[in-house]
Amino acid sequence: MKIGIIGAGASGVYLAIRVKEKNPSFDVTLIERNDKALKKVLVTGNGRCNYANLGELKGKYNNELANRLLEEFKPQDLVAQFDKYGIHPTYLDELVFPTSMSAQTVVLMLNKKIEELGIKVKLNESVIDYQNKDGKFFVQTNANQYVFDKLVISAGGKSYPQLGTDGALLDILRKKGYKIEALSPSLSPIKTKENTKRISGQRAKAKVSLYKDNKVIYEESGEVLFKDDGLSGIVILNMSSYINRLNDQKGLKLVLDLAPNAESIKQNQYYEYVAPKIAEYLVSNDLDIHRLSFTFKDFYDYKIAEVSHGGLSLSEINDSLKSKKEKGLFFTGEVLDIDGMCGGYNLMFAFASAEKVSKALGE
Ligand SMILES: Cc1cc2nc3c(=O)[nH]c(=O)nc-3n(C[C@H](O)[C@H](O)[C@H](O)COP(=O)(O)OP(=O)(O)OC[C@H]3O[C@@H](n4cnc5c(N)ncnc54)[C@H](O)[C@@H]3O)c2cc1C
Residue 271 belongs to domain with CATH number:
2.40.30
User: 312 and 289 in one domain?
Assistant: no
In this structure, are 40 and 102 located in the same domain? yes
* Residues 6 or more apart whose Cβ sits within 8 Å of residue 222: 205, 206, 208, 233, 234, 235, 238
Ligand 1 midpoint to CA 70 (Å): 19
Residues whose CB is less than 8 angstroms from the CB of residue 258 and which lie 6 or more positions away in sequence, other chains included? 204, 205, 206, 273, 274, 278, 282, 289, 290, 292
Q: Provide the pLDDT for residue 195.
A: 87
User: Domain boundary at 261, 282, 299, which?
Assistant: 299
Q: What is the pLDDT of residues 143-201, one digit of tens each?
A: 999 999 999 999 999 999 999 999 999 999 999 999 999 999 999 999 999 988 999 99
Q: State whether 53 and 170 are in the same domain.
A: yes
Give residue 10 CA to ligand 1 midpoint distance, Å: 6
State in Å: Cα 186 to ligand 1 middle.
13
**175 and 111 both lie in a single domain:** yes
Rounded Cα–Cα distance for residues 237 and 243 (Å): 10
CA nearest neighbour of 287 among 238, 232, 226, 242: 226
Verify that 77 and 92 share a domain, yes or no. yes
What order of strands is seen across the sheet that includes strand 127-133?
A: 127-133, 136-141, 145-148
Edge-to-edge strands of the sheet including 95-98? Answer: 52-53, 95-98, 89-92
CB proximity list for 251: less than 8 A, separation 6 or greater: 212, 213
Angle at 42 between CA 171 and CA 350, to 5 degrees: 50
Whether residue 235 sits in one domain with residue 337: no
Judge if 137 and 284 occupy the same domain.
no
Name the residue with the closest Cα to ligand 1, atom 52.
Answer: 306
> Considering 264, 282, 299, which residue would you say is the last residue of a domain?
299
- Return the pLDDT at 270: 97
Q: Judge if 267 and 321 occupy the same domain.
A: no
The set of residues, in sequence order, having a beta carbon less than 8 Å from that of 257 and lying 6+ positions away, is 206, 207, 208, 209, 289, 290, 291, 292
Residues 107 and 229 in one domain: no
**Residue 272 and residue 143 share a domain:** no
> 252, 284, 299 — which closes off a domain?
299
Q: Are residues 107 and 10 in the same domain?
A: yes
Q: Which domain holds residue 313?
A: 2-184+303-362
Number of domains into which the chain is organized:
2
- Residue nearest atom 46 in ligand 1 by C-alpha distance: 164
Q: Report residue 62's pLDDT band, with 50, 70 and 90 as the boundaries.
A: very high
Sign, Cα dihedral of 321, 361, 163, 145: negative
Burial of 81 (0-12, 13-18, 19+ CB in 10 A): middle
Whether 158 and 206 share a structural domain? no
| Residue from 37, 5, 51 nearest 163 by CA | 37
- The pTM assigned to this predicted structure is 0.97
Which pLDDT value is given to residue 344?
Answer: 98
Question: pLDDT tens digit string along 250-306?
Answer: 999 999 999 999 988 999 999 999 999 999 999 999 999 999 999 999 999 999 999
CATH number of the domain residue 135 falls in: 3.50.50.60
329 phi-psi bin (left φ>0, alpha ψ -120 to 50, beta other): beta
- In the predicted model, what is the mean pLDDT of the chain? 97
Mean pLDDT in residue range 46-70: 97
Around ligand 1, the residues with Cβ closer than 6 Å are: 6-12, 31-34, 39-40, 43-45, 50, 126-127, 154-156, 159-160, 164-165, 168-169, 306-307, 333-335, 344-348, 350
pLDDT tens-digit series, residues 67-116: 999 999 999 999 999 999 999 999 999 999 999 999 999 999 999 999 99
pLDDT for the residue numbered 208: 98
Q: Which residue owns the Cα nearest ligand 1 atom 39? A: 155
For residue 226, the one-letter residue type is: F
